[in-house]
Structure 1
Amino acid sequence: MNPILLTKDEERPFLRLDLDQSAASGARDLFLSAADSFGRGIEQVVEFDPGYKLHDDECFEIHDFPISEDLIGFCRQPLSAERVDSADFAALPINGIVGYDFSAGQRKLYFQNFDSRRVLIPGRRFAILPMADASTFKQLTKPVLLLDANITAVWNDGVLRFKSFHLAKQLFDLSTYFTEATDEQIGTFVAHARLKCSDSSKFMGACNTWSRTKIALILRGGILDHATGDMIRDAAASVEYEIQMDRDRIVLPEEKGALRSLLQFLDEDIYRGPISQRRLLSSGKRQIE
């Protein structure tokens, strides 16, 4: 196997890492072993939902996930891809490495994340390696690239599986499935009849990535469209959450900590344990039929 490097260079997005026979065999074993480890322990496959936090025995799945035909072609016939030179490692914006398996009619791609820490460049890092005398070392004089024993995602003939949204979004465009609230959507949010905002510009300025994400989820869920003032008060009382209301409108707080708590409440992250009756913060809330 000659792995394919993914780069952020628009002119050279896919490059072949040319390996000698022994290294190619080792790379294949590494990726296949990593894929086996990735699949081991998965008891539940969850359709990708950006509002859900996976448990240890779960993974996300997206069907009909598009992959570049160029990448598939290079993985099928690696020698058709441009070779990378070790001199490129210092400046090349590599963000992923792809292994593959097209044996027996399969179409499987194995994705690893990549960052600059996995390239050892003489002068940037002082690396040493043993000589013939194993107790004597010499300085690294050529760039070295490290392959990992873990993979971030597996693409199997159109089906993408991954366990970490944070890592997956560095490799794939998931904007179709997950978007933060735009300024226009935040404007829609603060203008909702169920909310009261004293300064919409200040509120928008206080919104970070996390809060924009929560607002997008709340708008998508439509919970404010169906909740009455009494429903909101009752829900807050049931989990002992102190909510500030002006008649039947929720007052949006300006302090970031208070805003975070409110958005967690509106996105139904706060609940009471059915056995312990403790007030808990949900790690995931995929609806159970």
Structure 2
Amino acid sequence: MLDFYAVTRQGTLSFDLERIRLERPVQEDLSAQFEAQAAEFVGADCEPLPFSCQHRIERDSKEVFCVDAFQIPKYLRPALDEPAAIGELRAPFTTAAPQVKAIVGVDATNESFFFQYFERRRILDRRRVFIFNGSSFNSIEYPAVMLDEHLVASIVDNRLCFKSFHRTNQFLDLSDLYATATDVEVSEVLSHPKLLADSAAIVDSGIANRTRQQFSRLIHLGILDRDGVTPDRIRNGARKYEGLESIRVRNFNGQRLVEVPTEKRVLAKFLKFLCEELYVGDLTGDQRSTNSSRVEVPSS
């Protein structure tokens, strides 16, 4: 039988694991559901693929990305090593609760993890949900949620399998899966029609692997290709962050282009901004870095 936890995040970008207490019949039923979903997710007819940032897997496809020798994140280790020390989910699925990013069923004996992606729209609004008790409809008194019908990721025998990079990346750091961009790919990014850059100087100066990964991530995200992402919008957004105040837009051959910094540290931060990995905390106003490009799915 599986134990169940919520992967949460509140205030900072570090993850936490909090126990979801269940009545035994519910735990048994939920375990059976997750195990059946796992059998479907990585069953005999699934098509395992090495990760490629250029390939998108449809939800109903039999394809699944697989990464061998995946290191279990530190925040998940207590579920295997000391589950009794994990606290229960606080104010579960209410506005006062931590933000739940995933529901995970854990088989501690076999060191296996089965993840469902969780979004706020799955929390049922007590003002709009009613249950039928056999004679009439009544409102629900306690927080309630709807779980998904499919897994989004699993870790079995240190093998990570997932379909959606963006959803899985919201509770597992997958940034190392991105290949380091080649000199040619770096030059292609820097020659984008919205950018003005001395690509030769940047390439010749030597680019750290982390920065090359940022270039690769930017290619994959395609943010620069979006119509609403204009040079002026890039400049205005970047200037909110310390170290990027000098980002400029220049007129070149009749077009307005945003000038790419050549100093390595500033370039690295500029790339993180372009990948939407910088933000300002709502409560503190502190500038923060997300360490990965997580896409939040808006609630309905």
With normalisation by structure 1, the TM-score equals: 0.58
Aligned length in residues? 201
State which drifts further: 80-89 or 110-119: 80-89
**Aligned residue in 2 for 1:73:** 78
Question: What's the % identity of the aligned pairs?
Answer: 22
**Aligned residue in 1 for 2:49:** 46
Higher-Rg member (1/2): 1
**Aligned residue in 2 for 1:129:** 131
Distance 2:78 2:49 in 1: 29
Aligned counterparts, 1:226-265, within 5 A: none
- 1:27 deviates by 1.5
Distance 2:178 2:72 in 1: 18
- 1:210 deviates by 11
Q: Structure 2 counterpart of 1:114, which letter?
A: F
Superposed CA offset, 1:238-260 (max 9, x none): xxxxxxxxxxxxxxxx8xxxxxx
**Aligned residue in 1 for 2:105:** 99
Aligned counterparts, 1:212-231, within 5 A: 212-214=218-220
SS of equivalent to 1:176: helix
Unaligned runs of 5+ in 2: 198-214, 223-254, 256-300
SS of equivalent to 2:142: coil
Distance 1:77 1:121 in 2: 34
**Aligned residue in 2 for 1:20:** 23
**Aligned residue in 2 for 1:6:** 7
Distance 2:193 2:106 in 1: 55
**1:121/1:175 CA distance change after superposition, 3 Å:** same
Would you say the 8 A contact 1:2–1:78 is kept in 2?
Answer: no
State which drifts further: 60-69 or 27-36: 60-69
- Given candidates 47, 64, 70, the residue that maps to 1:59 is 64
Q: Structure 2 counterpart of 1:23, which letter?
A: V
Q: Kindly report the root-mean-square deviation, in angstroms, between the aligned alpha carbons of the 2 structures.
A: 3.7
- 1:180 deviates by 10
Would you say the 8 A contact 2:178–2:216 is kept in 1?
Answer: no
Distance 1:116 1:215 in 2: 24
Q: Structure 1 counterpart of 2:123, which letter?
A: V
**1:75/1:18 CA distance change after superposition, 3 Å:** farther
Distance 2:5 2:114 in 1: 10
Distance 1:83 1:199 in 2: 49
**Aligned residue in 1 for 2:177:** 177
**1:186/1:58 CA distance change after superposition, 3 Å:** closer
Would you say the 8 A contact 1:86–1:143 is kept in 2?
Answer: no
- 1:164 deviates by 2.1
Would you say the 8 A contact 2:34–2:105 is kept in 1?
Answer: yes
- 1:28 deviates by 1.0
Would you say the 8 A contact 2:93–2:143 is kept in 1?
Answer: no
Would you say the 8 A contact 1:99–1:111 is kept in 2?
Answer: yes
- 1:73 deviates by 2.3
Unaligned runs of 5+ in 1: 203-208, 217-253, 255-289
More helix by share: 1
With normalisation by structure 2, the TM-score equals: 0.56
**1:120/1:100 CA distance change after superposition, 3 Å:** same
**Aligned residue in 1 for 2:271:** none
**Aligned residue in 2 for 1:111:** 115
Distance 1:83 1:114 in 2: 17
